[in-house]
Amino acid sequence: MKIRVLGCHGGELPHHRTTCFLIDDKLCLDGGSITSVLELEEILAIDDILLTHSHFDHVKDLPLMTDLLVGRRETPVRVHGPDETLRCLGEDVFNNRLWPDFRAIPSTQAPSIAFEQIPLRTKFALQGMQVTAIPVHHPVSSVGYILETAQGAVAFSGDTGPTEELWKSINATPNLKAVFVELSFPDSMQWLADLSGHLTPSTLCAELEKLDRRGAQIYLYHLKPSVSAELKQAVAAMGKDYLQVCELDDVYSI
């Protein structure tokens, strides 16, 4: 599995891009940085987008992507997510007010994108992988994902504060290779992390105590741009060699 970091931050400033991972060139996990990074040919190669939740920094480039697709693909890009996430996109984004509804452009028979609701807690097949969506703790309906192939499993926390079910599911998954975990605010902003359903270095450490790591690498992402330098210092001070902060344009072969 090749994972390319298109965006790994919880907001935007110069040299910071919102969350998006490109997996094996054809699948995006979240859609915060697609059109802002990829060339047209790379965008047209994407067949599926897997969403953790509906917040703007995770779906930002989906609307801008859609009109690039018209007349250039024989099949729609499939946008996968839980029911509440897809309903939000349909009602609040692709509603012909904020943005045209490309689920019916050029036509309902040949749309540019298609929404596909995913099950929770039940494996489903996607691009040769088995994928499981596990609810996590966030102000809107949000999930983390476990992606399994014959070579091993990779998990993504999505946006979450302290949670339980995700770690139990990851611990029950064989051949774990890597876990991508959000980290958003420093300990001095614990009140905001608690309010907004995110992790700080302190709560991250507590969460990792729940994980049976089994040698897996831990990649940290979703750092808020205004505090990213402070967070990187805090991670370095932990002195754990299995923790790595994601950087833009990193590519991991897992």
Strand order through the sheet with 113-117: 113-117, 77-81, 48-50, 27-29, 20-23, 2-7, 251-253
Question: Which domain covers residue 145, as residue numbers?
Answer: 2-253
**Intervals of the chain under pLDDT 70:** none
Q: What pLDDT is stored for residue 64 in this prediction?
A: 96
Q: What is the DSSP string of 90-111?
A: HHHTSSSSSS--GGGSB-SSSB
The conformational region for residue 24 under phi > 0 = left, psi -120 to 50 = alpha, else beta, is left
Q: What pLDDT is stored for residue 198 in this prediction?
A: 98
Instruction: Report the C-alpha gap between 18 and 52 in whole angstroms.
Output: 13
Instruction: Report the C-alpha gap between 184 and 196 in whole angstroms.
Output: 10
Write the CATH number for 71.
3.60.15.10
Q: What pLDDT is stored for residue 243 in this prediction?
A: 97
How many domains, in total, are found in the chain? 1
Q: What pLDDT is stored for residue 45 in this prediction?
A: 98
Instruction: Report the C-alpha gap between 59 and 61 in whole angstroms.
Output: 6
Instruction: Report the C-alpha gap between 62 and 113 in whole angstroms.
Output: 10
Q: What pLDDT is stored for residue 98 in this prediction?
A: 97
> Helix or strand or coil: residue 50?
strand
* Token pair in block for residue 232: 């990187």
Instruction: Report the C-alpha gap between 63 and 61 in whole angstroms.
Output: 6
- Whether the Cβ atoms of residue 23 and residue 48 lie closer than 8 Å to each other: no
Name, in order, each residue with C-beta under 8 angstroms of 35's C-beta and a sequence gap of 6 or more. Answer: 43, 61, 64, 65, 68
Q: What pLDDT is stored for residue 220 in this prediction?
A: 98
